[in-house]
């Protein structure tokens, strides 16, 4: 019997399928060249059917896809501080190596979004600012715990860590011989007196 609860569950499953299809299409073609029509075809629906679930259209699909990626990282880092937080960054990088499609999607979107007209422009600017700030807080805590090397500026170390993470992902996707998790660990350790 498909009562309201059954309908709700069915609709949530549909949304989930659509987000997965959007993920695959944007990862392959980027946001600009990807289309709602391609996403609809992937999931065996009409374009109108997809827009019934995502009234905001392509930008709403983009938002749903981006939020999904952040949820994963936030789960790993929840409640962690100092060296424990920095170790979490290494764990996230290790996960990424098994999620090539997601890394590719994110790399393409963050590059496209450098254009100020792109719908995710504000999202990426704010996201990088937020992450840099969280990582700086972790280095500060490491400093209070006596685990930071003398003379290291937590804010500069955070931006450097973020830049290295992004750069390693790009090189890895472009077939270079990098081990994202171990290379980011090595980089973070250059700032630490107590290694992770």
Give the x/- contact pattern for a second copy in 137-156, rule: CB under 8 A: -------------------x
**What x-and-dash track marks residues 100-129 binding a second copy by CB under 8 A?**
----x--xx-xxxxxx--------xx--xx
135 binds a second copy (CB under 8 A): no
**Which residues 6+ apart lie within 8 Å of 49 measured at CB?**
40
Rounded Cα gap, residues 51 and 87, in angstroms: 41
Report if residue 174 touches a second copy, rule: CB under 8 A: yes
Centre a 10 Å sphere on the Cβ of residue 102 and count the other Cβ atoms it contains: 17
User: Smallest gap, in angstroms, from Cβ of residue 115 to a second copy?
Assistant: 6
Q: Which residues contact 25 (CB under 8 A, 6 or more apart)?
A: 34, 35, 38, 39, 42
Cα(100)–Cα(182) distance, integer angstroms:
17
Which is nearer to a second copy, 119 or 167 (by Cβ)? 167
Q: Which stretch, 52-60, 79-87, 136-144, 166-174, contacts a second copy (CB under 8 A)?
A: 166-174
CB 134 within 8 A of CB 81: no
- 59 interacts with a second copy by CB under 8 A: no
**Shortest distance, position 113 Cβ to a second copy, whole Å:** 7
73 binds a second copy (CB under 8 A): no
Q: What is the DSSP letter of 54?
A: -
171 near a second copy, judged by CB under 8 A: yes
Closest to a second copy by CB, 110 vs 141, is: 110
- Of 159, 189, 193, 196, the residue at the interface with a second copy (CB under 8 A) is 159
Distance CA 93, CA 144 (A): 25
Query: Among candidates 8, 88, 87, 84, which has minimal Cα distance to 53?
Result: 8
What stretches of 78-191 show up as alpha helix (H) in DSSP?
82-96, 100-112, 121-144, 154-173, 180-189
Report the interface residues with a second copy, using CB under 8 A. 28-30, 32-33, 104, 107-108, 110-115, 124-125, 128-129, 132, 156, 159-160, 162-168, 170-171, 173-178, 183, 186-187, 190
């Amino acid at each position: 019997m498909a009562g309201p609860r059954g309908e709700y569950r069915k609709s949530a499953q549909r949304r989930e399928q659509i987000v997965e299809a959007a993920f695959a299409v944007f990862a392959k073609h980027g946001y600009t060249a990807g289309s709602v029509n391609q996403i609809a075809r992937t999931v065996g629906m009409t374009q109108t059917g997809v827009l019934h679930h995502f009234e905001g259209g392509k930008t709403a699909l983009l938002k749903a896809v981006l939020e999904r990626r952040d949820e994963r990282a936030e789960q790993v880092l929840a409640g962690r501080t100092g060296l424990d937080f920095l170790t979490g960054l290494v764990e996230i990088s290790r996960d990424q190596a098994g999620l090539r499609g997601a890394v590719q999607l994110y790399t393409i979107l963050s590059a496209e979004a450098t254009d100020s007209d792109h719908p995710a422009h504000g999202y990426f600017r704010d996201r990088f600012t937020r992450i840099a700030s969280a990582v700086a807080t972790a280095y500060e805590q490491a400093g209070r715990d006596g685990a930071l090397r003398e003379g290291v500026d937590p804010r500069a170390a955070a931006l450097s860590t973020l830049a290295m993470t992004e750069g390693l992902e790009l090189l890895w996707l472009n077939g270079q011989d990098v081990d994202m998790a171990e290379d980011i660990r090595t980089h973070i350790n250059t700032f630490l007196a107590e290694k992770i």
